[in-house]
Each structure stands twice: as C-alpha cells, then as structure tokens.
Structure 1
Amino acid sequence: MVNKVLLTYAVFDFIFVAMGIVIIVFSTTVQKFQFEVPTDGKQAARNLLYQRFPFTAAIINSVGIFITFVITVPGLITPVRSWLKVGAYLTTVNAIFTLVIGLYLWIQTLRTKGDFAPIWGNQTAAVQDLMQAAFQCCGYFNSTSPAFVTNPTCQSPASAALMRGCATPITSFANIFVDDIFTSLFGMVGIDVAFVVATACLLKQRKERERFRHIDEKSGALRGF
C-alpha cells in the first residue's frame, strides 16, 4: 500500500528542488544579457530594471535549496528522522531568504519613479530615444526635466511639451513587470511552508510507527517470559 504521507513529502521535495533550478537558470540567464545593447525601449527599460535585481543573493538562495534537497534525500529513503529535521530547518531558512528577496523587489516597486530618475539621466541619448518612442513620452518627469531627446515622438520643444513625461509609463511598466517576479517568489515561499508541513507530518508518522514498534518489541519480550 502506498504511503500517502511519504508520497506527498516526495512530491513537495521535488517541487522544492525545481524551484531552485528555476531561480538559478533565471538569474544566470538574465545576467548574461542585462547589459546588452537594447533594440527597443521596453527592452532597454527591462534591462535597466534587471540591473537592480539581487541576482547574487538569488544564486546563493538556489545553492541553499540544492544543499537542502541533498540533505532531504536520505530522509526520503531511510527511516532516520534526523535528516528530516535538518531538512525542515534548512527549508525554513531558505523560505526566509526567498521572502526577503521578494520583499526587496516589492519595496523597489514603491520607489520606482524616484529611483529610476538618475538611471534615466545616466543613459545615452540613443537609449533615451528608444524609451521615448516605446512609451510615447518626452523627457523623464516632463519634456524639460531632464530635457527630451529629439526624435519622431518629440520633434520640437512645442510638441514635446504636449507629451507626458516618461516617468509615469515607465513606472507602470516596471511595477507590472516586477510584480510578476516578486509574486512568484512569494508563491515559492508558500511551497516552502507546505513542504515544512509535509515534513512535520512525515516526522509524526515515523515517530508513531517507531513507538508502536517499541511497544511490539516489549510485548514480544514479555511473551517470551
């Protein structure tokens, strides 16, 4: 008969390590192209946002997940409960680490408009041109603060003054983009919590079985007399 508690634990264990794979693949992949020369404004904005992401912390987190998974494997295939306990503690640490990264990204969304201003100012005219064209705006806060880059969207000071600044559309784009990422991280934390609960259930089951085994052994010894 299939042990449903053990099966549930195994499922969450593999989902847990899959999250580590997703995190490290995403982090290493994005790090390769976050500084590439953009070909459109939304790509430029996305790359600038990526440059603010804590990829080193994310990679460390994924390594912690892999280490935790390796420790949980003996707990999965052997009746020794100490492996499960260590795995639960490490999973909790990983969950807190993931939560902190998610909160960091969430806090960034609260300050995007102000924080992105110096980033905009440090870009070349070509990159600003791409973002103005993509978001249909001129300048950052407005056409004069900082001064807009002349392009088909902002052809003259008079036409640029009638256009909105890029701060609002870029902030909206950034918040939606980053929201998806930190929401995914919070979802991973939920899976971590479920994994810890599954571990606690398996620990309880094994403890009860061990207790019954000791009772049976004592009963057998008494019958021997």
Structure 2
Amino acid sequence: MADKILLTYVILDILFVGSGALLLGFALTTKSGTSQAPTIASVATDLLLMGTPLNAAIGNAILIFFSFLLSIPAMLLSTTRGWLKVHGFMVVVCGLFTLIIGLDIWFGTLESKESLLDTWKAQSTTTQSLLQEQLSCCGYFNSTSAPPFVIDSTCPNAIIAATMPGCSAAFVKLDGLFLDVIFTAAFGIVGLDVALIFGIAMLNKDRKERERYRFIDEKNGTGSF
C-alpha cells in the first residue's frame, strides 16, 4: 500500500515538473515568435500572445522547477516528513501563482473589445493592414470610425471598405477562442497542483502512521517496523 502511495506521489510530481516545462516552453517560444516580423497568418495571434503575462509564466516555471528539486529528498528518504511539508507548501505557492496568471488572462477576455481597440491603435499602419487582410475587414469598428481603415488589397478604397465589416467583431472572437484555451490550460495545471497536494497529504499520513508503529515497536523492544 505504501509503495502505491509513493508511486502515485512520484507520478504526480513528474507531471507537476512537466507542467513547469510546458509553461517555460510556451513562454519562450511565444517570445521568440513575437519578436519576428509579423505575417498575415500570425499577426493577430502574435498580438494576443504579447498581451499575456509571459514573464510571469517564466517565473512560475522556475518556481515549479525549484519545488521539484525540493521533492527529491522526500522521494529518496523514505521516512522523512519535513521535506514533504516543505514541498507541499511550495506546490501551494505554485498553484496560487498559476491561478493568478489564469485569472489575469480570463479577466482580460471580459474587457477584450476595449483593450483590443487600444492594441489596434498602438500598431503601425503596416500591422493594421495585415490584420485587415487576415480578418477580411476594414477599420476597427467600421471603415469610417477612428482610427480610419488602411488602404490595402482588402480595402482599396472607401467604397469597397464601406461594404466590409469592421475588424472588432472578428478580433474579439479570435481573442476569446484563443485565450480561452490558454487560461483553461492554466486552470488545468492548477488542478494538477491540487492533485499533487492530496498525494503529498496521503504520503505524509502514511509515513506518520509508519513512524508511530515504529516507535511502538521500538518501545516494546521488537525492532523497527
């Protein structure tokens, strides 16, 4: 039974450090991708990803790796409980950190129409043109709203631009679909953290009971458990 509890803990701990690798890989890949010149295929997703807390994700990943290192003595020393408690505390910290990141992204999607307007205004006309081509639209709200549409192959003149929808609806929809996946993944990692905390609690309880029985046996002079 004890071996099964320890095995469960080890598996959950490996998944835990894997989630840290996933966070770090996502953040570094995103930073690398968004540093490149935008293209029609990537411009919208790059802008959305640039608005996510990438530095916080990197910090969280480092914290997860550090927490995993603290778990190694807990796995190797079969009677220790102190390292388990320290590891459990660090997992709680990591879980709260990840939860805050997920909530930050989620709250951002609730105000995406206004925040994306600010994002749109901050872009160069070249980037706005790429967005118009990718989303098949003209201007942010419509072709006559401020900021004005950019003349390009999608919106060559005011007459054609007037027949095209504004980019806000498509941009907001993409924001919702894309970022929903990201914050859902963050909440999934939090769920894994909770499972690991339960695993730590079970292993700690098992070791506490074994320690009690060992103490009783030693007191009775029958040897260790």
Question: In structure 2, how many angstroms separate the alpha carbons of the residues matched to 1:70 and 1:117?
Answer: 44
**Alpha-carbon distance in 1 for matches of 2:152, 2:51:** 28
Residue 60 (structure 2) aligns with: 61
Answering whether residue 43 of structure 2 is matched by residue 44 of structure 1, we say: yes
Q: CA separation in 1, counterparts of 2:58 and 2:12?
A: 21
Residue pairs, 1:111-122, within 5 angstroms: 111-122=111-122
Q: Which residue of 2 aligns with 1:123?
A: 123
Mapped partners of 1:22, 1:56: distance in 2: 14
**TM-score, with structure 2 as normaliser:** 0.94
**One-letter amino acid of the structure 2 residue matched with residue 30 of structure 1:** T
Contact 2:39 2:130 in 1 (8 A): yes
**Alpha-carbon distance between aligned partners in 2 of 1:162 and 1:82, rounded to the nearest angstrom:** 68
Is residue 91 of structure 1 aligned with residue 86 of structure 2?
no
| 2:116 counterpart letter in structure 1 | F
Structure 2 partner of 1:6: 6
Q: Secondary structure at the match of 2:221?
A: helix
Runs of at least 5 residues in structure 1 that lack an aligned partner in the other structure:
none
Q: Confirm or deny that 1:214 pairs with 2:215.
A: yes
Distance across 1 between alignment mates of 2:203 and 2:122: 55
Q: Distance in 2 between matches of 1:82 and 1:122?
A: 52
Following superposition, the deviation at residue 155 of structure 1 comes to 2.6
Q: How many residue pairs are counted as aligned between the two chains?
A: 220
Q: Which runs of 4+ in 1 moved over 4 A?
A: none
Cα deviation for residue 2 of structure 1 reads 7.2
How far apart are 1:175 and its partner, in Å? 1.1
Q: Percent identity?
A: 42
Q: How does 1:73-92 map onto structure 2 within 5 Å?
A: 73-78=72-77, 79-92=79-92
Q: Which residue of 2 aligns with 1:177?
A: 178
- Which residue identity is paired with 2:137? C
Asked whether the 8 Å contact 1:35–1:47 carries over to 2, the reply is no
What's the RMSD between the two structures over aligned residues? Answer: 1.4
Partners of 1:186 and 1:96 in 2: CA distance: 10
Partner Cα distance (1:14, 1:163) in 2: 51
* Partner AA of 1:3 in structure 2: D
Q: How many angstroms does 1:117 deviate by?
A: 0.9
Distance in structure 2 (CA, Å) of the matches to 1:158 and 1:96: 52
Preserved contact between residue 91 and residue 192 of structure 1 (Cα < 8 Å): yes
What residue number does 1:30 align with? 30
* Equivalent residue letter for 1:69: F
What is the one-letter code of the residue matched to 2:185? S
Q: Distance in 2 between matches of 1:52 and 1:168?
A: 18
| Partner residue in 1 for 2:70 | 71
Residue in 1 that maps onto 2:143: 143
Query: Using the alignment, how far apart are the partners of 1:163 and 1:35 within structure 2?
Result: 31
Normalised TM-score (structure 1): 0.94
